[in-house]
Amino acid sequence: MIRVHTKIIQAGEFLQTELEAPIESIEWKIENKQLALSYQERETQTKVDLLVSNGEIQIFRKGEVASQLLFQHQKKTKGCYQLAKGQEILFEIQTKNVEVSSDWKQISFEYQLSQLGENLGEFTVNVEILKENIVQ
């Protein structure tokens, strides 16, 4: 089971979301020091693939909206959302912090999204892996 808790600040408004979902697959790649896992968001039926390494998180979402997001500790990266009709929304991601616990069961990251210099929101995400099923 995975739990994802997100805090969002957008246009002066504060919002929190929490999601729990069964983990479909999980793999600890000891040679690369990477954690790869997949889960399905129940409400949106979106498949999420999460790849975590030291200082970096990649998220790939496939569903009504597809996205590719790259978070690198204290770096600026690009991201994109692909909408159902083939439209694409590009934006910048300024990652403030990426932290991974020594047992890889607690992952947190903070970032700001912007588009054409306009702040779209600030996000704090905490991911918790609730099962003892990391293969080592």
Is 76 a member of any domain? yes
Is 27 a member of any domain? yes
In the chain, how many domains are there? Answer: 1
Identify residue 67 by its one-letter amino acid code.
S
- What is the pLDDT, as a whole number, of residue 134? 46
Average pLDDT, stretch 81-104? Answer: 90
Is 120 a member of any domain? yes
Task: For residue 42, give its domain range.
Answer: 2-129
Q: How wide is the angle at C-alpha 16 spanned by C-alphas 27 and 129, nearest 5°? A: 20
Looking at the predicted structure, is the pLDDT value of residue 128 above 90?
A: yes
CATH for 113: 2.40.128.20
- What is the pLDDT, as a whole number, of residue 131? 67
Average pLDDT, stretch 55-74? Answer: 93
Q: How far is CA 115 from the centre of its chain?
A: 18
Say how far apart CA 5 and CA 113 lie, in whole Å: 18
Is 135 a member of any domain? no
Q: Which of 107, 106, 89, 87 is nearest to 97 (CA)?
A: 107
Mean pLDDT of the chain: 89
Is 134 a member of any domain? no
